[in-house]
Amino acid sequence: MNNQQKNVHYFPGHMKKALTSLSSFMKLIDLVVEVADARAPISTRNPLLNEIAPNKPRLLFLSKEDKADPAITKMWIDYFTKASLPCMSGNLKVEKLTSFSKRLEPLLKPKREKEAKLGMKPQPLRLVIVGIPNVGKSTLINNLAGRSLAKAANKPGVTRAEQWIKLGNDLLLLDTPGILPMNYPDGATAVRLALLGSIKEEVLPNDELALALLGYLKENYPSCLSSRYGIGDLRNCSDNEVFSAIATKRGFLLPGGKADVSKAALCLAKDFQDGLLGRLSLERVPDAR
Ligand SMILES: Nc1nc2c(ncn2[C@@H]2O[C@H](COP(=O)(O)OP(=O)(O)O)[C@@H](O)[C@H]2O)c(=O)[nH]1
Ligand SMILES: [Mg+2]
């Protein structure tokens, strides 16, 4: 089955479901916090959100900055900010994200001005967190709330009114994230999503994934395998040489003593997923030209 067939099979039902469930509560929302992975901020977004929440103020949150190339993340933030999409990045695993409410201050201003004009009392800004699977929505909710609650909120079959989490005096956060379906219009995007854990592995053969990753690393991070595998400049090695070197280093040998290159390929993809190859981004800012 090729990717195109997969998409045709995969999308319509999920699209429709996402559209109806998200659209229904958008009227309650003042600002949408869209979460994407800092390592591939285009591939981990879904343009469908523009249809679900047209004209809603938005903040793009790039998660997992601790795993991404810091220089590239900075370029992405500039890129989106220049395109009039407020953007910030964060590492949700370490400590409470104190920069978040500060970043929202300017976004609160239009609401305050409108209320003043109408002679209304200031109301808190109502936020929802949305994004494709595995980008860190639940972790962000728990981080901001300062406690673990997204798990309970995700329980299926429990009907209840939506719960708002008070974040200071100015912000109310919906405790349930909005889940967007993944969007993978092409093979390269599917590879990135699989490497970032949004697409389940069985969708793509592992050796294909490892080869695509290696090709990208050769071009963009040629020395990233030197500390873990002692492989100097990737550009001087064939794919097979790289996998053989990994197999030898890790002791992946076939009966008879030959290097088990398939096992090495699997190991490379896994090491990337576990962040063991360093801080690497999978997507670069498009050329300004
Ligand atoms: N290293 C790192 N891992 C993160 C970060 N945010 C989330 N994660 C991890 O990413 C995985 C998916 O997060 P989760 O919040 O469940 O994603 P959701 O499916 O969008 O709700 C979990 O294993 C989290 O621990 C981050 O900033 N840094
Ligand atoms: Mg979740």
User: Does ligand 1 lie within 6 Å of residue 73's CB atom?
Assistant: no
CA distance 149 to 259: 47
Q: Which atom of ligand 1 is nearest to the CA of 141?
A: 15
pLDDT, tens digit (0-9, with 9 covering 90-100), for 21-77: 788 888 889 999 999 999 999 999 999 899 889 989 999 999 999 999 999 999 999
Cα–Cα–Cα angle for 239, 245, 250, rounded to 5 degrees: 130
**Is the C-beta atom of 64 inside 6 A of ligand 1?**
yes
Distance separating alpha carbons of residues 33 and 60, to the nearest angstrom: 6
Determine if the pTM surpasses 0.85.
yes
92 lines ligand 1 (CB under 6 A): yes
176 pocket-lining for ligand 1 (C-beta < 6 Å): no
CA of 23 to the centre of ligand 2 (A): 19
Closest atom of ligand 1 to 135 CA is 20
Give φ, ψ of 34 to 5 degrees.
-95, 125
Rounded distance from Cα 141 to ligand 2 centre (Å): 9
pLDDT in tens, 206-254: 888 999 999 999 999 999 999 999 999 999 999 999 999 999 999 999 9
> What does the block give as tokens for 194?
């699989």
Domains and CATH numbers, the chain: 3-179 (3.40.50.300), 205-273 (1.10.1580.10)
